[in-house]
Structure 1
Amino acid sequence: MFNPFERINDAFAPQYRVNLSIERLDGSIMLTLSDEQGVVAKRLISPAQRNDPKRLQRVIDSVQQGIAIDPGEHTLPMLASGSRRQAGKVICLPRSPCH
């Protein structure tokens, strides 16, 4: 059986502390990855992404690629959602400044 929370945790737990929190009434969750130096990446995951194994894997791949691009600094970049604001919130991605 497909468990999106387990899949996310399995993908990142070996290297990062994984925090998943409900972010919106629509069921969107915020994925926050951190290490001993602080937050490495944040990504908002919609219910549609979370509940579809292929889409969830693309989200995981996107976050992993973002972290791999610039593994040396601990600033938050905008993720695949770019610098868009969603419901008044900036969606941050690994290693680039949030605005």
Structure 2
Amino acid sequence: MPDISPVYHALMAVAGQTIIGTRYSLWGVGGALGCLWFIAREHTQAEYRWITMLGHGKRANMPWWGGFDLRVWDMASLLDWLVPMVACIAVYLIIKYKY
């Protein structure tokens, strides 16, 4: 079964964007918050993967750049933040140029 978590993440990010956008008319801020939530989440998971894969299970072994190490990122983890970002940008552009 394919991993559809990026779709769920996009729906949640757009939902947050919609709440802030309709309530405060700040569609860009809502989209940024929705996207940053998933970017931070995936970065944290990348740090834990680094600790497991390269840090011998100890957080103290991880350098400050451990979460940015490309060896701990795969396509699924990239899509988990890229798809929400694309969705929020699309919603923002639709709202901006529709009105």
The answer to whether TM tops 0.5 is: no
More helix by percentage? 2
Length-normalised TM-score, structure 2: 0.27
Instruction: Please say which structure displays the higher CA radius of gyration.
Output: 2
Q: Which has the higher strand share?
A: 1
The structure whose RCO (Cα within 8 Å, separation 6+) is larger is: 2
> TM-score, normalized by length of structure 1?
0.27
